[in-house]
Amino acid sequence: MIEFAPDQPRWRQVAEVVRERIADGTYPPRSRVPSVLQLQAEFGIATATGQKVHRALRDEGLIYTEPGLGSFVADRPADSPTP
C-alpha cells in the first residue's frame, strides 16, 4: 500500500500510480489493468474510489473497458512519445 497524502483525494493518487505504470511500460498497450477489486486490495481503497480511478483513466483515454472482460491499456497514439 502507498502512504496517501492528506491534501489530495485518494482516487487521484491511485490514478497517478496507474498512469505511471502505463507510462513506464509496467502495463503495456492492450494489457489488462487491475480491476476495481484488485485496486481495493492493493491500495486499501473503497469500491467507489476504485471506480472513480477507472472512470478518470477512461475519460483521459488511457484505458478502455470491454464489458465482461475487464479494462485494458489503450494503444498509444502514433505521435505520443514512448517512455
CATH class assigned to 10-73:
mainly alpha
Q: Is the pLDDT of residue 82 over 90?
A: no
Between 83 and 49, the more confident residue is 49
- pLDDT tens-digit profile of 22-52? 999 999 999 999 999 999 999 999 999 999 9
Q: Is the pLDDT of residue 56 over 90?
A: yes
Q: Grade residue 2 by pLDDT with cuts at 50, 70 and 90.
A: confident
> Would you give the end-to-end CA distance of the chain in angstroms?
25
How wide is the angle at C-alpha 25 spanned by C-alphas 24 and 26, nearest 5°? 100
**What is the number of other CB atoms lying within 10 angstroms of the CB of residue 38?**
13
* Predicted TM-score (pTM) of this structure: 0.87
Judged by DSSP in three states, 83 sits in coil
Q: Is the pLDDT of residue 80 over 90?
A: no
Structure letter (DSSP) for residue 48: H
Domain residue spans of the chain: 10-73
